[in-house]
Structure 1
Amino acid sequence: MPTRLARRCSAAVLVVTLAVRLLAADPAPPSPAATVPRPEEIPVEAFFRPPAIRSPQLNPAGTHLAVLTHDLKHDANSLAILDIAGGPPTGVRGTTDLNISSFSWTDDDRLVFSIVKDNHYAFGLYVADRKDPYRVKTLNSRDAVEVLGKPRQRPDNILLWIHRSASNNGRDEGVVEVDLRRSQRSPGDAMNVHHSIPIPKFVSGVQRWLRDRDGEIRYAIAHSDGRLICIRRDAKENWSPVSIDLEIDSPLAVDADPNVLFVAHRNATGASDLVRFNTVDGTRGPALHSDEKYDFRDGRVRYSAAEKDIVGLSYARQATQQVWLRAEDAALQRDIDASLPPGGLNSIVSRDREGSRMLIVSYSDRHPGTLYLFDRQKRQLKELTSLAPWLPEKLLAPVRLVTFPTRDGLKLDGYVTVPLNYVEGRPSPMIVLPHGGPWHRDVWGYDPQSQFFASRGYIVFRPNYRGSSGYNAAISRTPMFDFRRMHDDVTDGVRALVDAKVADPAHLAIIGSSFGGYLAVCGAAFEPDLYKCAVTIAGVFDWKRMQSEDRDNDNEFRAAWLRRNIGDPKQQAEKFEALSPFYSVNQIKIPVFVAHGTEDNNADTSQSRRLVKALKTNGVEHEALFIPYESHGFVELKHRIELFTRIEAFLKKHL
């Protein structure tokens, strides 16, 4: 019997205009540029609405394509399934109550998916069959889950990580192996659990799991007393710590020998090597790939079509780079690059089990991407659809890499988005947009915030300050908790662009989210004469309070981790106050815009409320926007539109 979920879909057969166009042979519609003569007339919504499609995946047979399509009316994702040979699409329609967050094929016919609940997490597990999409079976509707994959020896089963269990006070319950076939047949909403892999008692949580070539859980990166450790599961299902320093060797994948890991190894010079690490005797093999400047510990391993061999690595350099270990794959990449328009980056995002059909996304700094289908045997490359057909690419701004010196002699990278009306040598108003994290980084490519501000005539500078991920140890690892030095780096980058006559020193603003929001208020408080205004979104301004909030919110690992690496605020109060711009609000001379969602589980809303109170107490001009029920990052489209419409008006007034 169809479940209540299927009935809520109203019609499980999905007819989406965009999806129908995916495999159509008709010429593309006229460019939106024909009706949008100037960049400043591109509406706010065009920059911040979700892509028309995302997560394109071929089924293992390569006969069908599944994608998430966005319904602008309900601000929800639907699951569309298309026959490569042609015909109408089918799928599961998204609604306000059924916003599909992620999915994966489990075989040639079945898909499992989760939905977004309360704008926070991917909840539940549902299964649909492409042959009969009216029948959607609910397997789990209460827990926050993630599908990890399938055991090769038990192809009807899937491994499911239960991040937050509704029946266990939101605790992480580890991994369960679910028999999909039996679960589909069983009455009611239930999972037929074949096997459970609980979190070992000697660790407090798991950051990620690693599976071996047979698809079995073999390793985990786990939390222990404010540290990350690697643990191994043996054939008898016993867990034990691995003698490995995760600062030196960061696991990426399991080799054919389950005792061997592929790791990103930091060598004696601080550069990054891809090597094999034997977890039994601690020995390392020769480097398969090396990079002197960039670290690929956050990279993604690329597997062969049948996922039997590791054949490459994708990681961020100046832009995201594909490194292939086999000559045949490198040659294929060259052929693909030569067949697509120059100036973009082309990434294989999905392929069938034989590697004969694959999906390619080609993107650039001025467009989020176009999806192509490549048939390797026929040597045919077919354009399917743009990820954002409403964006007039010709009216968007190019992105340039810049390098700037810091006051203590480092050379750091940043990205400058240059509006179309920019004149070389004429200093222009500039927005500084430091990324969040701070253990994150910006890369060359399409960035909606940068393009929005550039369309309004501002230069946008995104600095990769020290502590940003993806660089060698001197930049990314050694200073990763030196928050004040990160602020200094942002300041040094801004001054370098002023000295180069790119930025107008009389018209500078700083805008950031999360840790970037912290840096925005640092800029206002610690450099009171540099900027004309500041905007902070979901920021943290008091690190003493941050640690106590983590303990109160049951994020004990982050609290212990920060305490281990920054210190104890009870014993080092002066250090924490020096890091925290909240204690220097009386130095702020410029208007500040403060925004936060009231249901933020990452950076507590009280941080922004206390900042607003302090700004008011000190007579600092300010505006505030607190959105009820929003989480970290402003998930709902209507709220993103409201936020950036307010920010645009704020900048017009003060910059």
Structure 2
Amino acid sequence: MFKQNNRSHFTISPNGKYYIEVIDKNEDSYLFNRSTTINIIDIDKYELVHRIPLDFFGIDAVYWLTNERIIYESKGAIKAVDIDGKNLVEIVSRINYKKKSTYWNWQANLRYNSIISLLHNKSHQILVQTYDSNLHAAIKEINIYTGEEYVIMNADTHKVNHWITDAFGNIRMAVKISDKGMSYYYKYDPETKTLKPCIIKIGGNQYSFTIDPRTHLKQYLTFEGFGYNPNIIYITSNIFSDKREMFSYDIEKEEVIETFVADVNCDVKDLDGEGIKFIFDYNNAEIAGFKYTCLTPKYKWLSSSFSEKVAKLNSQFPQFFNEIIDLDVSGNRLLIHQWNDSSTGNIGVFDVQENSYAVMFHFNEELNEYALSKSKVVIAKTRDNYNIPCYFNLPVNIKENEKIPLVVLPHGGPWARDYWRLDDFSQYFTSRGYATLRINYRGSTGFGKSHVLAGVSSLDEVMVNDIADATQFVLEKFPLDKENVFMFGHSYGGYATYFCLVKYAELFNAGISIAAPTDIKAWMKKQKDDDNYYSYEFWNTALGSNESSYLKKISPISYANDINSPLLIMHGGKDKTVPVDQAENMIEKIKKHNKNLEFRIWNSADHSFTDIDDFKEMLEKSNQFFKNHTK
């Protein structure tokens, strides 16, 4: 389940005949042991037509130039090759050879190139955004045959970090990022070739897209993109509603046109997670619909023909969410990612005319022989009668009258959320006989402005109380063993584990805290010492105060003497998000009085335990810990 998938960049040819997948085999941490190949597969015959071996830099994006030739990005270089592997040429280099290079300034000549548009109205040109060593962006049209560059916007002219173009490749907006990490949006005037702040006027008030750490949690507007009308932009906002909605806005007339996507339960775009995905109908040059995330993923269709196509597919495979990831020019063949809460799924091709579906590739195929747990959406009631969205999983094949132990999995962040999907921690523990509960406590993003702001100044209060209340709710609703309720938390989840064992020791009989902060004052000082302005100011706002007495109050280490329940602390020695001394100091305080304390420090592990062997050992140690402390 935790094995890293090495296939990506799935795409279908314009004529719908071929399918591409990129296979990236990074054998170990050494760059030169990496191998990348592009597989070209005939869809109708389901056979490998060509395998193109590439260099060790890997691939960032792949596009079809024609039915017989592809173009791809590789760590700043742009290259093109025929689908039989012949005529490989580098169109744009990651090194600017026009500048004189020496041993001492070679780094200043590096550049990163990314394709903005294939410019189908100019068959021999592509539109590229080029970032220099100062991260300033230029816009260029580049000839795919000769590599000749025509500079549309020089990087030094406005010192912009990112340009935004419309569907026709015209420069419309710009983003500048300050050295403090704040993002400022500007409108570009092509006649005067000047920038002016991008101001959105709604209801007599003025707003901007500026991303500021002090207002991040209540961000009023976010820019989502352009459609085919060059004057219409799409915006998500919580101005009109507590829940973030998406509407269209005319930037010339300065007026809201129409609300397209809204949901009574959720934000349609999670500021710090999954967002809106546009589905384009290239044949008719219009937006076909939008994918967004609610309690479960959904589509909002604007095109009746697309809606009918997907309805046909859904009728065949109602157990999956059928997500469109690409389509041919005719729109008769759709490249689909089928997935759900108990399967990572497959990549397949749906032929609309034949009403047939052909699987091209299975993710984690060896899992298909197992029955995995399904996620149930549960709305838990809190002590103040507030609704908390949760995901609850039971083990497969429950025996009658069986009392099932529960593992509570509070997510990290805490300004994040849990989603309906195959959750690896839930599947790991349910396969070992536990039920699991994932809780979108107040403070979680994605469930409205009031929901997220309720967590400000309440890391140790409202958030922790919601976790306890949701746990109590499912204990009363499902056949669970109330004597065996465990906590398993990573990052903020580990922080919440400490506080739950302090405040609700009678509810949770053991807990595991992984990579968790314990001394908030010391952690904030580290942010300041590292000159991490954005993170420091964000947390200053989220915590609600930087007074020493308050930071002490919300620090788990202040309550180390009150933790007497069985506890396992785990941390990575190379954790740059939460330094390992946060765990070490907590361990020293607790082990003096708590005989049920266990701990493990992985010297080479990072914050997320990205090494699969470390991750496996961490999970197995957790499972054994729960077994040892099951009543």
TM-score after normalising by structure 2: 0.80
Contact in 2 for aligned 1:226/1:560 (Cα 8 Å): no
1:71 Cα deviation after fit = 4.6
Of the three residues 544, 557, 568, the one matched with 2:521 is 544
1:526 Cα deviation after fit = 3.7
Contact in 1 for aligned 2:443/2:463 (Cα 8 Å): yes
Of the three residues 202, 226, 241, the one matched with 2:197 is 241
Residue type of the alignment partner of 1:445:
R
Of the three residues 52, 63, 66, the one matched with 1:105 is 63
1:320 Cα deviation after fit = 0.8
Rounded to whole Å, the distance in 1 between the matches of 2:379 and 2:233 is 35
* Alignment correspondent of 1:12: none
Residue type of the alignment partner of 1:405:
K
Q: CA distance change for structure 1 residues 105 and 594 in 2, over 3 Å: closer, same or farther?
A: farther
Of the three residues 70, 73, 79, the one matched with 1:127 is 79
| Structure with the larger RCO, 1 or 2 (CA within 8 Å, 6+ apart) | 1
* Residues 98-123 of structure 1: per-residue CA shift (max 9 Å, x gap): 47464332634234344xxxxxxxx5
Contact in 2 for aligned 1:509/1:533 (Cα 8 Å): yes
- The aligned runs of 1:168-567 (5 Å cut-off) are 173-177=135-139, 195-197=153-155, 210-216=164-170, 218-219=172-173, 229-235=184-190, 236-243=192-199, 244=207, 247-279=219-251, 282-298=254-270, 299-306=275-282, 308-340=285-317, 342-423=318-399, 426-479=402-455, 482-484=458-460, 485-567=462-544
Q: Is residue 71 of structure 2 the alignment partner of residue 82 of structure 1? A: no
* Residues 527-561 of structure 1: per-residue CA shift (max 9 Å, x gap): 33432332233333333333333334443222122
Rounded to whole Å, the distance in 2 between the matches of 1:637 and 1:94 is 26
* Residues 17-59 of structure 1: per-residue CA shift (max 9 Å, x gap): xxxxxxxxxxxxxxxxxxxxxxxxxxxxxx2102363342224
Contact in 2 for aligned 1:526/1:587 (Cα 8 Å): no
Q: CA distance change for structure 1 residues 401 and 641 in 2, over 3 Å: closer, same or farther?
A: same
Report the 3-state secondary structure (helix = DSSP H, G, I; strand = E; otherwise coil) of the residue aligned with 2:350. strand
* Alignment correspondent of 1:149: 116
Contact in 2 for aligned 1:419/1:458 (Cα 8 Å): yes
Contact in 2 for aligned 1:148/1:158 (Cα 8 Å): yes
The percentage of aligned residue pairs carrying the same residue is 20
Residue type of the alignment partner of 1:330:
S
Report the 3-state secondary structure (helix = DSSP H, G, I; strand = E; otherwise coil) of the residue aligned with 2:373. coil
Report the 3-state secondary structure (helix = DSSP H, G, I; strand = E; otherwise coil) of the residue aligned with 1:314. strand
Of the three residues 561, 577, 592, the one matched with 2:552 is 577
Contact in 2 for aligned 1:59/1:107 (Cα 8 Å): no
Report the 3-state secondary structure (helix = DSSP H, G, I; strand = E; otherwise coil) of the residue aligned with 1:304. strand
The alignment yields a C-alpha RMSD, in angstroms, of: 3.6
Q: CA distance change for structure 1 residues 259 and 450 in 2, over 3 Å: closer, same or farther?
A: same
Contact in 1 for aligned 2:224/2:276 (Cα 8 Å): yes
Report the 3-state secondary structure (helix = DSSP H, G, I; strand = E; otherwise coil) of the residue aligned with 1:232. strand
- The aligned runs of 1:13-162 (5 Å cut-off) are 47-51=1-5, 53-69=7-23, 71=25, 78-85=36-43, 86=45, 87-88=47-48, 90-91=50-51, 98=56, 100=58, 102-105=60-63, 107-108=65-66, 109-114=69-74, 124-125=76-77, 127=79, 129=81, 130-132=83-85, 139-140=93-94, 147=114, 149-150=116-117, 152=119, 156-160=125-129
Rounded to whole Å, the distance in 1 between the matches of 2:573 and 2:140 is 36
* Alignment correspondent of 2:98: none
Report the 3-state secondary structure (helix = DSSP H, G, I; strand = E; otherwise coil) of the residue aligned with 1:575. helix
Report the 3-state secondary structure (helix = DSSP H, G, I; strand = E; otherwise coil) of the residue aligned with 1:437. coil
Rounded to whole Å, the distance in 2 between the matches of 1:386 and 1:229 is 42
Rounded to whole Å, the distance in 2 between the matches of 1:77 and 1:610 is 43
* Alignment correspondent of 1:3: none
Rounded to whole Å, the distance in 2 between the matches of 1:199 and 1:593 is 56
Contact in 2 for aligned 1:68/1:77 (Cα 8 Å): no
Rounded to whole Å, the distance in 1 between the matches of 2:252 and 2:371 is 56
Q: CA distance change for structure 1 residues 423 and 369 in 2, over 3 Å: closer, same or farther?
A: same
Unmatched segments (≥5 aa) in structure 2: 96-106, 200-206, 210-218
Q: Is residue 544 of structure 2 the alignment partner of residue 590 of structure 1? A: no
* Residues 493-529 of structure 1: per-residue CA shift (max 9 Å, x gap): 1111222354323212211223323323332344334
Contact in 2 for aligned 1:210/1:254 (Cα 8 Å): no
Rounded to whole Å, the distance in 2 between the matches of 1:146 and 1:606 is 40
Residue type of the alignment partner of 2:42:
I
Q: CA distance change for structure 1 residues 515 and 100 in 2, over 3 Å: closer, same or farther?
A: farther
Contact in 1 for aligned 2:126/2:144 (Cα 8 Å): no
Rounded to whole Å, the distance in 1 between the matches of 2:457 and 2:65 is 44
Contact in 1 for aligned 2:389/2:439 (Cα 8 Å): yes
1:359 Cα deviation after fit = 0.8
Q: CA distance change for structure 1 residues 370 and 256 in 2, over 3 Å: closer, same or farther?
A: closer
Report the 3-state secondary structure (helix = DSSP H, G, I; strand = E; otherwise coil) of the residue aligned with 1:361. strand
Unmatched segments (≥5 aa) in structure 1: 1-46, 115-122
Tell which structure's C-alpha radius of gyration is larger: 2
* Residues 77-117 of structure 1: per-residue CA shift (max 9 Å, x gap): 7443213255535446699xx47464332634234344xxx
- The aligned runs of 1:561-640 (5 Å cut-off) are 561-567=538-544, 569=546, 572-616=547-591, 619=594, 621-628=597-604, 630-640=605-615
Rounded to whole Å, the distance in 2 between the matches of 1:334 and 1:588 is 54
Rounded to whole Å, the distance in 2 between the matches of 1:624 and 1:239 is 54
1:258 Cα deviation after fit = 4.2
Q: CA distance change for structure 1 residues 354 and 422 in 2, over 3 Å: closer, same or farther?
A: same
Residue type of the alignment partner of 2:522:
R
* Alignment correspondent of 2:101: none
Rounded to whole Å, the distance in 2 between the matches of 1:632 and 1:450 is 20
Rounded to whole Å, the distance in 1 between the matches of 2:157 and 2:398 is 55
* Alignment correspondent of 2:216: none
Contact in 2 for aligned 1:424/1:502 (Cα 8 Å): no
Q: CA distance change for structure 1 residues 480 and 226 in 2, over 3 Å: closer, same or farther?
A: farther
Of the three residues 605, 622, 626, the one matched with 1:651 is 626
Q: CA distance change for structure 1 residues 159 and 543 in 2, over 3 Å: closer, same or farther?
A: farther
1:70 Cα deviation after fit = 5.9
1:386 Cα deviation after fit = 1.6
Q: CA distance change for structure 1 residues 267 and 519 in 2, over 3 Å: closer, same or farther?
A: same
Kindly tell me the number of residue pairs found equivalent between the two proteins: 580
1:259 Cα deviation after fit = 4.4
Residue type of the alignment partner of 1:381:
Y
1:463 Cα deviation after fit = 0.8
TM-score after normalising by structure 1: 0.78
* Residues 245-278 of structure 1: per-residue CA shift (max 9 Å, x gap): 5533332212445443211232544244332224
Bigger shift: residues 342-351 or 435-444: 435-444
* Residues 56-80 of structure 1: per-residue CA shift (max 9 Å, x gap): 2224454432223365965977443
Bigger shift: residues 440-449 or 421-430: 421-430
* Alignment correspondent of 2:214: none
Q: CA distance change for structure 1 residues 365 and 567 in 2, over 3 Å: closer, same or farther?
A: closer
Residue type of the alignment partner of 1:265:
S
1:292 Cα deviation after fit = 1.7
Residue type of the alignment partner of 2:187:
R
* Residues 428-472 of structure 1: per-residue CA shift (max 9 Å, x gap): 211111222323222222112211111111111111112222223
Q: CA distance change for structure 1 residues 335 and 305 in 2, over 3 Å: closer, same or farther?
A: same
Report the 3-state secondary structure (helix = DSSP H, G, I; strand = E; otherwise coil) of the residue aligned with 2:536. helix
Report the 3-state secondary structure (helix = DSSP H, G, I; strand = E; otherwise coil) of the residue aligned with 1:48. coil
Bigger shift: residues 174-183 or 477-486: 174-183
1:404 Cα deviation after fit = 0.6
Residue type of the alignment partner of 1:175:
A
Contact in 1 for aligned 2:457/2:545 (Cα 8 Å): no
1:344 Cα deviation after fit = 1.8
